[in-house]
Amino acid sequence: MKFSSLKGYAFLYLVFLYAPIVLLPVFAFNSGTIIAFPLKGFTLDWFRDLFANQTLGLALKNSLIIAVSTSILSTTLGVFAARASTRFKFPGKTGVMGLIMLPLVLPEIIIASSLLVVLLAVGMPLSLFTVILGHTLMATPYAIAVLNAAFSSLDRSLEEAAYDLGETKWSTFRLIILPLVTPGIISSALMSFTISLDEFIVAFSLAGKETTLPIYIFSQLRFPKQIPMIMALGTCLVVASIVLLATAEYFRRRGLAKTGAKDTGGFL
Contact between 150 and 184 under an 8 Å Cβ cutoff? The reply is yes
Closest CA to 177 of 195, 202, 157, 197: 157
Kindly report the number of other CB atoms within 10 A of residue 2's CB atom.
6
Q: Which stretch binds another protein (CB under 8 A): 46-54, 64-72, 158-166?
A: 158-166
42 forms bridges with which residues in the sheet? 30
Binding mask 102-141 for another protein (x = CB under 8 A): xx-xxxxxxxxxxxxxx--x-----------xx-xx--x-
Residue of 23, 44, 52, 124 interacting with another protein (CB under 8 A): 23
Contact between 189 and 75 under an 8 Å Cβ cutoff? The reply is yes
* 211/66 Cα distance (integer angstroms): 11
Overall size of the chain counted in residues: 268
Residue of 59, 66, 77, 203 interacting with another protein (CB under 8 A): 77
Site for another protein in 214-233 (CB under 8 A): 214, 217-218, 221, 230, 233
User: Applying CB under 8 A, does 162 fall inside the site for another protein?
Assistant: yes
Least spacing, CB of residue 42 vs another protein, in Å: 19
> Who's near 126: CB < 8 A, 6+ residues apart?
119, 206, 207, 208, 209, 210
User: Applying CB under 8 A, does 155 fall inside the site for another protein?
Assistant: yes
Least spacing, CB of residue 122 vs another protein, in Å: 9
User: Applying CB under 8 A, does 259 fall inside the site for another protein?
Assistant: yes
Amino acid at position 108, single letter: E
* 75/72 Cα distance (integer angstroms): 5
Q: Which stretch binds another protein (CB under 8 A): 45-53, 54-62, 64-72, 99-107?
A: 99-107
Q: Which stretch binds another protein (CB under 8 A): 42-50, 53-61, 64-72, 73-81?
A: 73-81
In a 3-state reduction of DSSP, which class is residue 217? Answer: helix
User: Applying CB under 8 A, does 192 fall inside the site for another protein?
Assistant: no
Least spacing, CB of residue 192 vs another protein, in Å: 13
* 66/213 Cα distance (integer angstroms): 11
Angle CA 159–161–163, to nearest 5 = 70
Q: Which stretch binds another protein (CB under 8 A): 40-48, 49-57, 64-72, 174-182?
A: 174-182
User: Applying CB under 8 A, does 64 fall inside the site for another protein?
Assistant: no
Residue of 24, 59, 131, 203 interacting with another protein (CB under 8 A): 24
User: Applying CB under 8 A, does 258 fall inside the site for another protein?
Assistant: yes
